[in-house]
């Protein structure tokens, strides 16, 4: 019997060094040497990534932290308070990045920065407070927040850089799993219908390119080909049209339109997850429920047509 592969196993596969986590062989990147400069660059990159995926208007400069706090604490309307809380979280994130940047500049001047330095503690507190408020922030789709993105800068601040890189492989494996899960649901929901004949190959191609894009850093030389492949696969899937005929009933045409919306929603969700490189559990769960509802409706509408053919 083949022994299960332990998580963290590294091997050379088709000339590429990969690490195994939860059923996936993921491309390995060497982490930079652990230092304040490396942490600063990592936190800056994670902060840019965060603001790239969350709702607009919350990237508040750190120097306006006091204004953002006051606006949040004095707001009484629950809906407006959520938005102002998101803006406050953004200001906290930027304040932490500002502090870390200045600490690194001092270190480069030969000034030793201890881990218990008051500014280091303030940086950690800002990141912790931002993480708590991050639950109020929505993804740009408006469907849910992405707690993982808010936790990553604090994790990068708190643990060695190498340990942070290792933790990312676990999240990437979970993301790859959800990409495959969503693609499987899309195929099971649509591919058996004559209306969507041939869509399974497009879904499979899209999912494969999504997985490759998800495991690849933007600094990788392969990113130009992989991103182009992912976008083209997405466009091909988006361009798919149901196989309609002039003799179709209004009910069948409505079923085709609803199925096309299910297809587009699945494509969008996989795109969100692939770009963020973290799972979106609430959106995934709700999408699967929509697929189940559509499949049940399609099955119900197929029964009268089948009964009509049997009576002929």
Judged by phi (left if over 0) then psi (alpha if -120 to 50, else beta), residue 24 lies in beta
Q: pLDDT by residue (tens digit) across 303-312?
A: 555 444 434 4
For the residues 227-254, what does the mean pLDDT come to? 88
Q: Write down the pLDDT at residue 308.
A: 47
- The sign of the CA dihedral 178, 179, 180, 184 is positive
- Alpha-carbon dihedral of residues 39, 30, 53, 101, nearest 10 degrees? 20
* Mean pLDDT computed over 182-211: 95
What integer pLDDT is reported at residue 311 of this predicted model?
Answer: 44
Average pLDDT over residues 223-238: 97
Weakest-pLDDT range from 11-20, 57-66, 125-134, 172-181: 125-134
Judged by average pLDDT, the poorest of 61-65, 176-180, 278-282 is: 278-282
| pTM as predicted | 0.84
Query: Do residues 72 and 85 make contact, with C-beta atoms less than 8 angstroms apart?
Result: yes
């Amino acid at each position: 019997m083949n022994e299960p592969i332990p998580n963290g196993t590294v091997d050379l596969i088709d000339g590429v060094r990969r690490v195994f986590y939860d059923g996936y062989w993921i491309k390995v990147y060497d982490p930079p040497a652990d230092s304040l400069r490396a942490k600063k660059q990592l936190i800056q990159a994670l902060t840019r990534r965060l603001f790239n995926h969350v709702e607009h208007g919350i990237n508040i400069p750190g120097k306006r932290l006091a204004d953002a706090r006051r606006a949040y604490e004095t707001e009484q309307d629950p809906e407006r308070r959520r938005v102002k809380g998101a803006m406050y979280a953004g200001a906290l994130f930027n304040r932490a990045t500002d502090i870390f940047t200045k600490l690194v500049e001092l270190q480069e001047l030969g000034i030793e920065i201890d881990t218990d330095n008051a500014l280091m503690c303030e940086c950690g507190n800002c990141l912790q407070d931002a993480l708590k408020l991050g639950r109020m922030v929505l993804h740009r789709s408006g469907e849910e927040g992405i707690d993982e993105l808010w936790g990553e800068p604090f994790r990068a601040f708190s643990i060695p850089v190498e340990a942070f890189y290792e933790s990312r492989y676990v999240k990437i494996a979970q993301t790859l799993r959800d990409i495959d899960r969503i693609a499987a649901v899309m195929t099971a929901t649509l591919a058996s219908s004559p209306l969507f004949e041939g869509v399974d190959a497009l879904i499979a191609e899209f999912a494969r390119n999504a997985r490759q894009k998800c495991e690849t850093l933007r600094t990788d030389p392969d990113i130009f080909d992989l991103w182009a492949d992912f976008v083209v696969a997405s466009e091909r899937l988006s361009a798919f049209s149901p196989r309609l005929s002039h003799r179709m009933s209004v009910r069948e045409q409505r079923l085709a339109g609803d199925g096309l919306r299910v297809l587009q929603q699945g494509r969008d969700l996989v795109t969100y997850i692939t770009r963020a490189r973290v799972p979106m559990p609430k959106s995934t769960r709700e999408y699967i429920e929509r697929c189940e509802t559509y499949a049940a409706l399609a099955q119900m509408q197929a029964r009268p047509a089948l009964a009509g053919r049997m009576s002929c």
